[in-house]
Each structure stands twice: as C-alpha cells, then as structure tokens.
Amino acid sequence: MQQPKGGEGEAAGPYDVAEHWPQPFARSGYIQGSQGGVFAETPNRIFLANRGELKLPATLPADFNGSWGSLGQRATLAPPAEMRNCLVVVDANGRLIESWTQHDHLFEGGRGPHKIRIDPHDPERHVWVVDDQRHQILKFTNDGRLVLTLGEPGVAGNDQRHFARPTDIAWLPDGTFFVTDGYINTRVVKFDRNGRFVMTWGTPGTGHGQFNLPHAIDIDRHRHLYVADRANHRVQVFDENGKFLDEWPDIRSPTHIMVSADDSVWVSDLETSKLLKYDATGRLLYHWGVYGTYPGGVWGIHQFSVDSAGNVYIAETYGGRTQKFTPKPGASKEKLMGVPLTSAAAR
C-alpha cells in the first residue's frame, strides 16, 4: 500500500480531539482563565478547576480559537482573573450542568484552584480541591457542600496545621491521604482518614527524599507513592511511611501523575507538552503530545484525567483551556491511557 506524502505527524497520538469542547460558560466579553485541573468522575460528569475568568480584548484576531493561549500570551500572564465559575461540572458534550459559584469567594486573593480530585476509594465521591496560593485543601460533598478545610486561608506555614502552596493529594484505600506541599514547602504530609496529621518528610535539596517543588502524587496497588519532583526533573518513589524506594530522572518538568489499572504510570511534562507512559520500574514505554494552541496541541499540561470509557481530558495552565480526547477507532491498546486505578468499594 502506497504511503501518503508529507504531513506533520499525529499531534494527539492515538486520540481524536473533541471539537468545541467544552461549550463556553464564561459571561459575555470574558473567557475561562488558566485551567488548574480537571477530573472525570464519569464520562458524563467532568469537573473543571477554572482559575476565574479573563476579560477579552475589544478586538480579537481572525484566528482566535476561543482560548486565551491563541492570543499569543500565557493565560497565567494575562490580566488578573475575576474569580467566577471556579468550580464547574460539564457533561459528555461539554455542556455546563453545574457551577459552584457559591464557593467562588474561597479563591479570592489567590489565583484559583490548583488541582481537583476525587478519592478513587470513596463510595460517597467527595470532591477535593487544592488551592496553592491560599494554602488550603478543601473537601466538598459530591453536590458541592463544603465539609472540611485544611490549612489556614492565606497563611503559609510549615507545621501540622499549615501548608505553603500545596499542590496535589492522593489516597490509600483506608482513607489515609498524602499532600504534596509544594511550591514553598518541600515535603509530603500524611494525614489519617479524618484529616489528622500523621507525619511528614522531605527537605530542600536534590538527594533521595529531598524535593524542589513536589507538584503531583499518586499511589499504586502496592501502596507505593509516586511523587513528581518537578524542579528536580524527576519522579521519586516512596513507601507509605516515606521510605525512599526509587528515582526516575531526566523528566524535564513533571506536573501530574496517574497510575492506571494496568499498573502503568502516566506523567505529564510541562516543558515538552507530552504525556509519558512508564512501567512500574520507571522504564519509558511510549509518549504522545505536541505543543500548540490549535485543537489537539497542548500548552502547559497541568492536570489530566481519564474516564471509564477511556476519554482523556487535559487542563492547560498556559493555553487556558481544557481539551477532551477520544480514542481513535482501532487504536492500539498499548498506546491508549488506561483507566485509573480504583477500588471495588467505589464502583
């Protein structure tokens, strides 16, 4: 069979990009801001962590595609965002079905939510939000009622009651959870299921168990913790008590980690705009993704999520958008991102 000539390769690897997703939800004259995070609870219920809304310029270029990044400027360097529609829920078609505007005030004085997660072992599906600049972890019921706050709003600290720009959260099956803390502190903090402090580890540096911006965390079925040590360009692996187990070097700027049900470990790289697939020993198996502000390209992957149907969602901190990718018909299973590791209790 004769092969076609030319072309630039497949920007989205084994996926097709869903066009015009999500549907616009910002008020007239504004656009969604930098996207801190995304979490797909189901294929028809996807949470977006939106860092407020940005006012659009009076005149837009002809090639404006609906995201701030296509204006040639990072969404994080745009004029200050108005904290509106910070936590929203969309359906499979990207249509807005919920906006938790009653909580927008929680993000005033900061830059909006940093990441959003649901404990995969929790049958009640509580929603957890990390706010780095306000130094807090917020826990909501699945319908948006605030039930737990960790950290003091706007007050940084390095003790059992405070954070200093925390970044991410992950859980063991019994509800024990770990927070990467973060841009200022260089530690991992362990809490019991009720939010009581258990222990912490990590100091500034490049050695084993030291960090320079621990930015993401996830846990495998063997209770091993994978920590994205972003500014040290690596992933470190620990047991649940902070014992160092392994190091995966030469990852330029890891921002998010997901352990899939097939025991693969997926890592996003902010600088290369790639999603990297590793086995549990740190061996690189595959990668996809290219830089771009066009549909299918990405600029600044900050968090990604995979739903139970295999659709992938990518939140772009620089591009100022979240994109949905659907598996191509006949795509190799080895190249597709597996569904997240979860527990029977939460299914």
Is 8 part of a structural domain of the chain? no
Compute the C-alpha angle 100/213/49, nearest 5°. Answer: 15
CA-to-CA separations, 167 to 26, 181, 239, 256, 259, in angstroms, rounded: 25, 6, 20, 10, 17
pLDDT tens for the chain, residues 1 to 347: 555 666 555 689 999 999 999 999 999 999 999 999 999 999 999 999 999 999 999 999 998 999 999 999 999 999 999 999 999 999 999 999 999 999 999 999 999 999 999 999 999 999 999 999 999 999 999 999 999 999 999 999 999 999 999 999 999 999 999 999 999 999 999 999 999 999 999 999 999 999 999 999 999 999 999 999 999 999 999 999 999 999 999 999 999 999 999 999 999 999 999 999 999 999 999 999 999 999 999 999 999 999 999 999 999 999 999 999 999 999 999 999 999 988 545 54
**Is 0.85 topped by the overall pTM?**
yes
Helices (H), the chain: none
Is 245 part of a structural domain of the chain? yes
Three-class secondary structure of residue 75 per DSSP? helix
Of 170, 139, 158, the C-alpha closest to 200 is 158
b vs e for 278-295, b when ≥16 Cβ sit within 10 Å of the residue's Cβ? bebebeeebbbbbebbeb
Do strands 203-204 and 210-211 pair parallel, antiparallel, or not at all (unpaired)? parallel
Is 6 part of a structural domain of the chain? no
DSSP codes, 211-242: ES-EEEEEE-TT--EEEEEGGGTEEEEE-TT-
Is 4 part of a structural domain of the chain? no
The answer to whether 208 touches 225, Cβ cutoff 8 Å, is no
Structure tokens, 227? 């920590």
Edge-to-edge strands, sheet with 127-131: 115-118, 127-131, 136-140, 146-150
Task: Say if residue 40 is exposed, middle or buried (CB neighbours under 10 Å; 0-12, 13-18, 19+).
Answer: buried
Is 25 part of a structural domain of the chain? yes
Is 10 part of a structural domain of the chain? no
Residue with tokens 């097939």: 262
Total domains in the fold of the chain = 1
Structure tokens, 339? 């569904």
Is 164 part of a structural domain of the chain? yes
Domain residue limits at 172:
15-346
| CATH of residue 276 | 2.120.10.30
Structure tokens, 208? 């084993």
Do strands 146-150 and 136-140 pair parallel, antiparallel, or not at all (unpaired)? antiparallel
Structure tokens, 202? 């990590």
Is 179 part of a structural domain of the chain? yes
